[in-house]
Structure 1
Amino acid sequence: MLPARGHSGKKSIIWAVRTSWETVGDGEFFCAGCGGDRNYRRRTGRRRLTVLGVPLLSRGSAGPVVECAACQTHFGLDALDHPTTTRFSTMLRDAVHTVALAVLAAGGSSSRPATAAAASALRAAGFENCSEEQLGILVEALAADADPCGVALAIELHEALEPLAPHLAPAGRESILLQGARIALADGPYRPAEREVLTAVGAALALCADDTARLLAAARTPS
């Protein structure tokens, strides 16, 4: 922009490039600037050359951007890929639930120690009213509908865990696997089917094979 000095000695702006914004959508997102869930506006803009405040020439488009309604900070559209805290909590609960059911189904539905361990893990994850009886019914239903190759179970694990993994620190991903391992170990050593399920859990959580094997071995060591 080009400044000019007026009669009073103060600088005034002769020309500048300004952006006019238009809102094309809205919603809720996690604002990294505020550190919490906020409303957002999805906006596109047009840049114009102004002379003495009057818009004259188009200088192209701007955006699209995500603008926080609270702090007005602009972010790229990839900011919407981060789940809100509410959505993240739901994803985490669903992940623990899916892993627990998968491990129970792999180990058989008649193990009371494993079912008790799974119910305890689920209550800690937010399913406050989860009971061993409820889990037993769910596992029996899974056993009745289970496909012999475990394809449906593998798909369900990946659908629950893969979207969550990028938003978890390594310790968080390891914690989910360890919870499943402790459920499997509640009634004795790993069964081959349990180990297979836990290996699939590790892969869906983006843990390398060596880390998965290390964690499964560590879970067997009394703390």
Structure 2
Amino acid sequence: MLPGQRRDGRGGRVVRGGRTARVLGSRTVWAGVGDGEFFCPGCGGDRNYQRLTGRRRFTFLGVPILPRGETGPVVECAACQSHFGTDVLDHPTTTRFSAMLRDAVHTVALAVLAAGGTHARLALETAVTGVRAAGFDDCTEDQLAALVDALAADTGRLFGPPCGPGLAIELHEALDPLAPHLAAPGRESILLQGARIALADGPYTPAERDVLATVGAALTICGDDVTRLLAAAARTPS
């Protein structure tokens, strides 16, 4: 034992200069392997992050001596310094989430209008109101009508059956990435927005029901719940 040191009776520790020191321990040395922006659960907002991998070493009196293997990777928040598993990167940033939600509402509106036609002014007005509320502040009826006409002319997307493969693909591309990050009320809200557009000019047409069923499936709402929600929307005064 070195001068000035004595054992404190608790295995693996010595007293040095009146302070208890651990004889054996471990230490992790982290190295950055990437960075970016993520939603930090600790801060509750978008922050920069570093992706880290670590090398663990045994220490003797605080000095690293022997390698103990690798650990990680982890994600470290640049603001609060907290470490998280890499699955935290699966959650979109608030900026990305807002864009996904905006695109989803816009796509559903176009799909319902394509199924019911753009000749009904009330349907267009309802669609514009919903799309503007989602973040497209400068959206107009003429713009939506032109987009529906353009999509209808694109034989690779909106052509043939009311909700053919092309339209179903459009809806799933917009809704599939969003659905896991929405609670049930949020997913139902998107479906009901589409229902209000369909009902603006009268009862659902078969084509509109087909589109709304596809919307519900893409949002992982079960068929029975889709039927219930559409029926409830039809009973609600506009």
Q: What is the aligned partner in structure 2 of residue 107 from structure 1?
A: 116
Whole-angstrom distance in 1 between the partners of 2:53 and 2:101: 34
Q: What is the aligned partner in structure 1 of residue 88 from structure 2?
A: 79
Q: What is the aligned partner in structure 2 of residue 3 from structure 1?
A: 13
Q: Which of residues 199, 208, 211 is equivalent to 1:194?
A: 208
RMSD: 1.1
Tell me the TM-score normalized by structure 2: 0.91
Question: Counterpart of 1:131 in structure 2: which amino acid?
Answer: T
Do residues 183 (structure 1) and 194 (structure 2) align? no
Q: What is the aligned partner in structure 2 of residue 17 from structure 1?
A: 26
Shift of 1:192: 0.5
Shift of 1:110: 1.2
4+ residue stretches of structure 1 with deviation over 4 A?
none
Q: What is the aligned partner in structure 2 of residue 148 from structure 1?
A: 160
Which whole-Å deviations, capped at 9, do the CAs of 1:16-58 have from their partners, x for residues lacking one?
1000000000000000011110100000000001112221111
Whole-angstrom distance in 1 between the partners of 2:141 and 2:92: 31
Q: What is the aligned partner in structure 2 of residue 205 from structure 1?
A: 219
Do residues 48 (structure 1) and 83 (structure 2) align? no
The DSSP-based 3-state class of the residue aligned with 1:46 is strand
Q: Percent identity?
A: 68
Do residues 126 (structure 1) and 135 (structure 2) align? yes
Q: How many residues align?
A: 222
Do residues 61 (structure 1) and 73 (structure 2) align? no
Whole-angstrom distance in 2 between the partners of 1:135 and 1:2: 73
Q: What is the aligned partner in structure 2 of residue 164 from structure 1?
A: 178
Structure 2 runs not aligned, ≥5 long: 1-10
Question: Counterpart of 1:5 in structure 2: which amino acid?
Answer: V
Shift of 1:13: 2.3
Q: Give 1 or 2 for the bigger CA radius of gyration.
A: 2
Tell me the TM-score normalized by structure 1: 0.97
Structure 1 runs not aligned, ≥5 long: none
